[in-house]
């Protein structure tokens, strides 16, 4: 006969599961788009943890979509191939040689690494890019930047088809041009466009910061779209946070219910945000 004493850790775990029930019910059947980048892609351990979180989401009835970046990997490959980059206004010019490397790295190396990690945790993931099934058709953003695109037409049917078979889409931010070109798309922009096309319940932007901060340097846990605009005009929101908040505002305007800019360095950040009362970043809602 075995005996076992209940300890505080077990009791706390049971209490956490119990308190998650209303959140599990709330997100049953919901579409959640996750922009993966930064720390969560930086190590095998972080990737494994993220993949487990995504598989758990699918297991409890959420329809997750992963959209990823890969800038550091692209830079490394360009360096290995001795392909020099030019910059206009601080932005990389993506010429024909560069966009070929971008597609090779994003649709190949990075995308399949994420797919493999999710499948390794018992999920069923399929990798694709915005070029597949005309998911994301793009116009050229600026001729001076070369093959950099802005989404102009979305066709999310392929994603709904994957949801119906319990498959997790993993999407590289590449788009098809009207004349068969391949366009590189900013990862946050791509995630926002996909979330908008799906009318997602949540768009989660994983970053390497703790969230949107006020003038005192404190993370603001809940904001309205109007407050974001005010903080940007005041200069409180600046630098690399501006593109993320602009993505958030565009997504909200297009029908996404809420956007969260959250700290991807925190263990299980996605689960904390969705299934606990604590959250893990800054929740932005429409006015």
Predicted confidence band of residue 1 (pLDDT cuts 50, 70, 90): low
Residue of higher predicted confidence among 34 and 8: 34
- Binding-site residues, in ranges, read 70-71, 92, 184
> DSSP characters for 158-175?
HHHHHHHTT-EEEEESEE
Predicted confidence band of residue 5 (pLDDT cuts 50, 70, 90): low
CA triple 268-65-228, angle to 5 deg: 75
pTM (predicted TM-score): 0.92
Q: What pLDDT, on the 0 to 100 scale, is given for residue 209? A: 85
Answer yes or no: is 4 within a domain.
no
pLDDT in tens, 24-52: 888 999 999 999 987 677 788 989 999 99
Count of structural domains within the chain:
1
Predicted confidence band of residue 15 (pLDDT cuts 50, 70, 90): confident
Answer yes or no: is 213 within a domain.
yes
> Is residue 6's pLDDT more than 80?
no
CA distance 76 to 187: 18
Residue of higher predicted confidence among 25 and 278: 25
**The token pair that represents 189 in the structure block:** 């922009």
> Is residue 228's pLDDT more than 90?
yes
Q: How far is CA 63 from CA 16, 80, 139, 258, in A?
A: 22, 38, 29, 16
Answer yes or no: is 20 within a domain.
no
| DSSP H helical ranges for 20-95 | 21-26, 44-59, 71-80
Q: What is the mean pLDDT of residues 44-66?
A: 95
Q: Supply the CATH number for residue 127's domain.
A: 3.40.1160.10
Answer yes or no: is 19 within a domain.
no
Answer yes or no: is 185 within a domain.
yes
> Is residue 2's pLDDT more than 70?
no
Q: What is the mean pLDDT of residues 73-82?
A: 92
Sign, CA dihedral 152-101-34-273, equals negative
> Is residue 213's pLDDT more than 70?
yes
Answer yes or no: is 21 within a domain.
no
Answer yes or no: is 36 within a domain.
yes
What percent of the chain lies above the pLDDT cut of 70?
96
pLDDT in tens, 147-197: 999 999 999 999 999 999 999 999 999 999 999 999 999 999 999 999 999
- Binding-site residues for substrate, in ranges, read 70-71, 92, 184
Answer yes or no: is 15 within a domain.
no
CA distance 99 to 146: 9
Predicted confidence band of residue 7 (pLDDT cuts 50, 70, 90): low
């Amino acid at each position: 006969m075995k005996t076992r004493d209940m300890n505080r850790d077990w009791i706390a775990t049971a209490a956490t599961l119990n308190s998650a029930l209303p959140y599990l019910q709330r997100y049953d059947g919901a579409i959640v788009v996750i922009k993966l980048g930064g720390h969560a892609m930086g190590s095998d351990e972080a990737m494994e943890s993220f993949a487990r979180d995504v598989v758990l989401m699918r297991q409890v009835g959420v329809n997750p979509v992963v959209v990823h970046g890969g800038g550091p990997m692209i830079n490394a490959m360009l360096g290995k191939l001795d392909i020099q980059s030019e910059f206009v206004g601080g932005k990389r010019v993506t010429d024909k040689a560069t966009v070929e490397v971008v597609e090779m790295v994003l649709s190949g190396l990075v995308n399949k690494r994420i797919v493999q990690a999710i499948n390794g945790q018992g999920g069923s993931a399929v990798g694709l890019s915005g070029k597949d099934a005309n998911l994301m058709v793009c116009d050229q953003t600026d001729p001076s930047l070369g093959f950099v695109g802005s989404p102009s037409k979305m066709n999310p049917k392929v994603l709904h088809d994957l949801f119906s078979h319990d498959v997790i889409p993993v999407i590289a931010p590449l788009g098809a041009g009207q004349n068969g070109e391949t366009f590189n798309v900013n990862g946050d922009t791509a995630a926002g466009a996909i979330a908008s096309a799906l009318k997602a319940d949540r768009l989660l932007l994983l970053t390497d910061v703790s969230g949107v901060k006020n003038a005192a340097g404190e993370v603001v846990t809940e904001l309205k779209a109007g407050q974001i605009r005010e903080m940007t005009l005041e200069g409180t929101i600046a630098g690399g946070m501006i593109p993320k908040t602009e993505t958030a505002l565009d997504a909200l305007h297009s029908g996404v219910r809420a956007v969260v800019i959250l700290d991807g360095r925190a263990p299980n950040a996605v689960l904390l945000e969705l299934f606990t009362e604590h959250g893990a970043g800054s929740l932005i809602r429409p006015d």
